[in-house]
Structures are given as structure tokens and as C-alpha cells.
Amino acid sequence: MPLSFSTLPLSKATLSNLESLSYHEMTPIQAESLPLILKGQDLIAKAKTGSGKTAAFGIGLLHHLKVEQFRIQSLVLCPTRELADQVAKELRRLARATHNVKILTLCGGMPFGPQIGSLEHGAHIIVGTPGRIQEHLRKGTLVLQDLSMLVLDEADRMLDMGFADSIQSIISQCPSNRQTLLFSATYPDQIAKMASEYLNSPAEVTVESLHDQTRIAQHFYELEHTNEKYLLIERLLAHHQPESTVIFCHTKKDCQDLADQLTEDGYSALALHGDLEQRDRDQVLVRFSNRSCSILVATDVAARGLDIKALDVVINFELPRDPEVYVHRIGRTGRAGHEGVALSLVTPAEGHRVNRIEALLGNTVQWCDAAKLNDQQTAFTKPPMATLCIDGGKKNKIRPGDILGALTGDAGFKAEQIGKIDIFPFHSYVAVNNDIGKAALKRLMNGKLKGRKVKVRLLK
């Protein structure tokens, strides 16, 4: 039976804020881990993305925070900037009930100087990526002597990305009498080793994914050769006609090559991998999440922390070596009560990976015949939205309401024609209905935002 947050020793202000955020009942990971976190115990939590773990450690972190003591008390390490931004955003929402909480994000791909300035003004909570946190510690611009809580979020992905040494270096500069929380979707030997070294008599919590796999149709297709996979992907897209699809590849090269081929053949596709510059990466994620791109071709590490509300189809261009990664991949579809589809392309050399997946799932997979797919003439699903990029962001005091106001009212566009608005330090992105893309671009270019002219372009 779901438990209410009111069963926890939280302040009335916190409970009221949780209610306003529609946090009515605890998810399994919150119900099992929060009582332990609130008691100050170290914790190993095995939970998938989407289980509610951010709120679990966020509520605990804020509960222990001494706001009147203006010093860095908590550090959350995340594998990617995108996940760090998501975590910081959620912590700020959870902190609404607590006045004057200062939360800073310190991630790579962003200018170093402004981060030093922000640190000089002080903070209570730091959320960042291991490489940049280590760099600040090395330069002496970040000091963790007052730290009381350390959170390792998506610990398995941080190890996959080669951050083991950075994490070790960071922890060596944290006080030994801290509380440490380790969250991981999978639990390889490396994670067990990390936990034994850095955690003090931790409690262990394991929660199965909230993603109901009965809502995910899992279809496996066998091919003789790898070079047959592209044609099959075209047929699968034609058959299912998905509005949003993520295709997983192992390597950056395969990822980029496949996205380039799809684009060349007329699909709306973008690649997401570790070789992208940060600004390009931001644009890819923005365009896919705001529905102005239909297909995202990604590596596992790059796709970790994706904030996609409704994903129609997941395609495994190659099966992962770890069956738990397969479960994590397909769990991105079929969320929040929606039906989802997971399609896997398998060559004979990958047969042993299917066996591991079957062993993990406890049943045999469903093999399908590609010959039975609908042979439609076109597989193209035009994205419903277009994205406008504005040269101006948080540093220019631009807010979502400013952009919405510039496009509605006298501008003549309806609020329902405007989609997701994302504000970054120096750029802003707004999704608009595809049919008004050029008209909205012209309106913003000829008008003013915050009383000044801005450069705007339509992303393609």
C-alpha cells in the first residue's frame, strides 16, 4: 500500500511543498530509502531512472541542511551535465519551502571563470560532474571541509565513463564523518568495490523499475548480417510510424554514421554521443525533448539522464553486453501508463546476449518475422514542432514568460501553438508548431525581447 510523505518526520512547510508539487504518495524507492536517509545512515540504492530517486535523496539532503550555516554541506555527483541540470532543477523545486537555499551546478563544457565567481559568493549544495568538481578542488576554488552529505548518482554510469579516479580523488577531500548515498541502476563488481571503500556500514535497498514491462511490447528480429540492419530499421519505422524513437548503438562512430544515413534519406534524426561539443549536445537534447526531432541515435552513456516524457519506440541497433542495460534501455518507453514498443535487431553473433536477457527476465523473448511488417511507401514522420534558437539566456535575464509574451498577444500566435521553452546561460530555445515556424522566427527577429533586439534562427 502506498505511503504518504506525512508518515515521515518532515516539517509542515516541506509536506505542504511536496503536496503542491503533486508528490502525494512515496514511490517504492522513496518509501524504502527516505527513513534510512533521514536517520543519517549510509545507503546503497539499486534503482532505475524514473523511480523517484532524485526526490528520495533530495528530500533527505534538504532535511539535514543547516541553512543558517552558509557553507557547502552537500555534494551530488552526476555522470553528465544534463543529469546534473535535472537534479539541480528538482532540488530547487524541493527547496521552495526552505528560504535562502543556494544550489550551484559545476559541470564541464561551461566557462570556468563564472563558476569561480559563483563559488566566491558561497553555496549550500553543489551538483556537478566529477571532472569539473575535481578541477575546482585541484585549483582550490572549491573546498569540501564542511561537507556532511555526499551523493553518488548513477554511479555505474560514472564508472562506465571512466570517472573512477576522479571520484576517488574527490572523496579523498571529503570529511570522513559524512553521510554517503550511492544510487546505481546496475550493480557490477566495480560498484560493490566502491561501496566497500567509501561507505560506512551502508543499508541496502533494491527496488525494481517502475516501468511495467507488460506495457512494453518486446520484439526481436534475427538477421544474417549487420549490413541488413539499416533496411530493417527503415521497415520498422514505416510499420510503427512512431512520433519519437531512440535507437541505441554501442560506438560513437556507429551512432553518427546511422544518424547521418537516416538524415540523408529524409528522416528527422540526430546523433547523441560523447564527441559532441556541449552546445551541440544541448541542442540535440532540446530538439528531441521538445518534439522537433523524431529520431535520436544515441550511445548508452550519452543517453543516461534523458528527460523524455513520452517515448513511442526504442530500437536496439545492437544488443548491449549487459542484460540489465537492455532492461534500462527499454524502460525509457511504456512509462506513466503509456504503451511502449522495444525492437531489437540480432545477428547470430549476438545470440548469447539474448540468452542472458532471457535469464534476467525469466522468460523467452518473442521472435518476429520481418516479412510480416507493413510494407508502406514512406516511413517519414514529420516532427510536430520546430525549434527557434535565441542568442540570449539566463545571463541576459531572459525568462520563459518573456519569450511566450513576445510570441502571443499582439504577436498573434496562440499559447497552445508554443511548446517547450528551455533557457540556458547564453541561449534560449522555444518550440513552436511546425506550421508557424518561419512566421514565429520573423516575429522574434523583427521585434524585441526584454527591450532589445535579439538574433534568432530556426534550427534544422
Same domain for 239 and 162? no
- E runs forming strands in 129-287: 149-152, 179-184, 203-206, 216-222, 245-248, 269-272
Three-state DSSP class for residue 127? strand
pTM of the shown model: 0.69
Same domain for 330 and 405? no
Domain that holds residue 68: 5-206
Report, as an integer, the average pLDDT of 243-257.
Answer: 93
Last residue of a domain, one of 372, 393, 426: 372
Report, as an integer, the average pLDDT of 240-253.
Answer: 92
Question: What cell does 214 get?
Answer: 507488460
In a domain, 378, yes or no: no
Q: Highest-confidence range of 117-121, 178-182, 311-315, by mean pLDDT?
A: 178-182
Question: What cell does 283 get?
Answer: 541542442
Q: Which residue has the higher pLDDT, 17 or 408?
A: 17
Same domain for 185 and 273? no
Same domain for 163 and 217? no
Same domain for 149 and 227? no
Same domain for 87 and 197? yes
Residue 224 has pLDDT above 50, yes or no: yes
pLDDT value at residue 212: 55
pLDDT value at residue 376: 64
Residue 380 has pLDDT above 70, yes or no: no
Is there a contact between 370 and 232 (Cβ–Cβ < 8 Å)?
Answer: yes
- The domain that holds 353 is classified in CATH as 3.40.50.300
Residue 135 has pLDDT above 90, yes or no: yes
Helix (H) or strand (E) holding 431: strand 428-433
pLDDT in tens, 195-209: 899 999 999 998 865
Continuous H helices in 109-251? 112-120, 130-139, 155-160, 164-171, 189-198, 229-240
Number of domains in the chain: 3
Report, as an integer, the average pLDDT of 123-138.
Answer: 95
Same domain for 221 and 185? no
Same domain for 368 and 391? no
Q: Which of 449, 411, 455, 453 is nearest to 432 (CA)?
A: 411
pLDDT in tens, 149-183: 999 998 988 887 788 899 999 999 999 999 999 99
Strand order of the β-sheet with 74-77 is 103-106, 125-128, 74-77, 149-152, 179-184, 43-46, 203-206
Q: Rounded to 10 degrees, what is the CA torsion of 284, 289, 293, 294?
A: 130
Q: Let me know if 80 is exposed, middle or buried by CB neighbors in 10 A (0-12, 13-18, 19+).
A: buried
Residue 210 has pLDDT above 50, yes or no: no
Q: Quick one: the chain helix, strand, coil %, rounded to 5?
A: 45, 20, 40
Amino acid in the structure at residue 160: D
User: 332 Cβ partners below 8 Å, 6+ apart?
Assistant: 49, 246, 303, 306, 308, 311, 314
pLDDT value at residue 447: 85
User: 175 Cβ partners below 8 Å, 6+ apart?
Assistant: 144, 145, 146, 147, 148
With cut-offs at 50, 70 and 90, classify the pLDDT of residue 377.
Answer: low
Backbone angles phi, psi at 362, to 5 degrees: 80, 15
Is there a contact between 312 and 242 (Cβ–Cβ < 8 Å)?
Answer: yes
Last residue of a domain, one of 206, 239, 266: 206
pLDDT value at residue 42: 96
Is there a contact between 75 and 84 (Cβ–Cβ < 8 Å)?
Answer: no
Q: How far apart are the first and last CA of the chain?
A: 48
The CB density around residue 330, as the number of other CB atoms within 10 Å, is 24
Backbone angles phi, psi at 182, to 5 degrees: -115, 120
Same domain for 33 and 155? yes
Same domain for 180 and 266? no
Last residue of a domain, one of 147, 179, 206: 206
Same domain for 253 and 350? yes
Same domain for 25 and 173? yes
Q: Which of 197, 183, 179, 180 is nearest to 53 (CA)?
A: 183
Helix (H) or strand (E) holding 103: strand 103-106
Backbone angles phi, psi at 458, to 5 degrees: -95, 120
In a domain, 270, yes or no: yes
pLDDT value at residue 99: 85
With cut-offs at 50, 70 and 90, classify the pLDDT of residue 304.
Answer: low
With cut-offs at 50, 70 and 90, classify the pLDDT of residue 335.
Answer: low
The CB density around residue 107, as the number of other CB atoms within 10 Å, is 22
In a domain, 380, yes or no: no
Of the candidate ranges 145-154, 216-225, 269-278, the one whose mean pLDDT is the lowest: 269-278
In a domain, 379, yes or no: no
Question: What cell does 41 get?
Answer: 545512515
With cut-offs at 50, 70 and 90, classify the pLDDT of residue 185.
Answer: confident
pLDDT in tens, 31-66: 999 999 999 999 999 876 667 889 999 999 999 999
pLDDT value at residue 302: 64
